[in-house]
Amino acid sequence: MNLTISGASGFIGRGLLKVLGGAGHSLHVLSRHAGTNLPNGVRLSVWDPEKGPPPRESLETADAVLHLAGEPVAQRWTADAKRRIRESRISGTHHLVEALASLPRRPAALVCASAIGYYGSRGDEILDESAAPGSGFLPEVCLAWERAAQAAEALGMRVTLVRTGLVLDARGGALQRMLPPFRLGLGGRLGSGSHWMSWIHLADLLALFQFALAQPIPGPVNAVAPQPVRNTEFTRELARAVRRPAVFPAPGLALRALFGEMAGVLLESQRVEPRAALAAGFRFRFPELGPALADLLP
């Protein structure tokens, strides 16, 4: 399959390049930087998502497009950072669909990254793909981002929206940042620790993206393991995996002092279930947190 991928320089994108290339797919990457280091045989086109459509030649032979590009959410939310988070996703996706609309032969599918931030903080409510969006900055960004991607449906393309939860991998993302204090025995719950965390092992996320390319599952797909946990349980399992105590809680006020408005993401309660993926026949290698962490932190 000929695949075009945006956002391939992130740790999820790098993982996808490896597994998709290993599966024999022909890959064409869209990147802001001409000097992006890529595996042998992977083509590259330079694209700034905020400035206009990607080059036509990057899409002409594509059978499907994986759209992952976006400004990182895990940073202090200044006014400028929020603008970049919003515009990189919404304007970038609009520009991508604009380019797809100009093609005489269009890819069959657009698989677009999204996030469970779509749901906002919902306490103990069980959230599947039919749940309404929440309110606030991230839900509003996710809703507009998904609507921009869904415009490709009018072009005759299947659109799958992969709403990703907390991705676990020791070499990147949130877990990599958590490990140093936990390995020093300085880890602990966040706030009260009662909020739900919906997580996924990186290997399962990469497999789910591959599954979404191969299977006709349009609409949103929650990319989370079937068993979400409260933050207290996540803390306990991570401490067990690194064989250290975790007795230093991070109060909500301290988190807000450190991270500002973005601290709300760390304290949001999202009890999300992957009903669409399970109904389509996807099987998780790591449905439970303990074995997932044991695999990542042997």
Q: Is 134 among the domain residues?
A: yes
Type of residue numbered 223: A
Number of H helices, E strands in the chain: 10, 13
Q: Is 230 among the domain residues?
A: no
Find tokens 């930087």 and name the residue: 33
pLDDT value at residue 141: 96
CA atoms lying within 13 Å on the CB side of residue 293: 20
Q: Is 252 among the domain residues?
A: no
Domain that holds residue 136: 2-167+199-224+273-284
Phi-psi region of 144 (alpha: psi -120 to 50; beta: other; left: phi over 0): alpha
Q: Is the dihedral of CA 193, 259, 117, 274 positive or negative?
A: negative
Q: Is 262 among the domain residues?
A: no
Q: How many other CB atoms are found less than 10 A from the CB of residue 122?
A: 18
Q: What is the pLDDT along the chain (298 residues), one digit of tens a residue?
A: 999 999 998 889 999 999 999 999 999 999 998 877 888 889 999 999 999 999 999 999 999 999 999 998 888 889 999 999 999 999 999 999 999 999 999 999 999 999 999 999 999 999 999 999 999 999 999 999 999 999 999 999 999 999 999 999 999 888 998 999 999 999 999 999 999 999 999 999 999 999 999 988 889 999 999 999 999 999 999 999 999 999 999 888 777 776 777 777 888 999 999 999 999 999 999 999 999 999 999 8
Q: Is 100 among the domain residues?
A: yes
Q: Is 72 among the domain residues?
A: yes
Q: Is 208 among the domain residues?
A: yes
Type of residue numbered 133: P
pLDDT value at residue 258: 67
- How many Å apart are CA 249 and CA 187, to the nearest integer? 7
- What's the whole-model pTM score? 0.95
Q: What is the CATH number of the domain that holds 146?
A: 3.40.50.720
CA atoms lying within 13 Å on the CB side of residue 209: 29
> How many domains are contained in the chain?
1
- How many Å apart are CA 70 and CA 90, to the nearest integer? 9
- How many Å apart are CA 144 and CA 75, to the nearest integer? 21
> 195, 125 in Cβ contact below 8 A?
no
Q: Is 109 among the domain residues?
A: yes
Angle (nearest 5°) at CA 110 between 104 and 116: 155
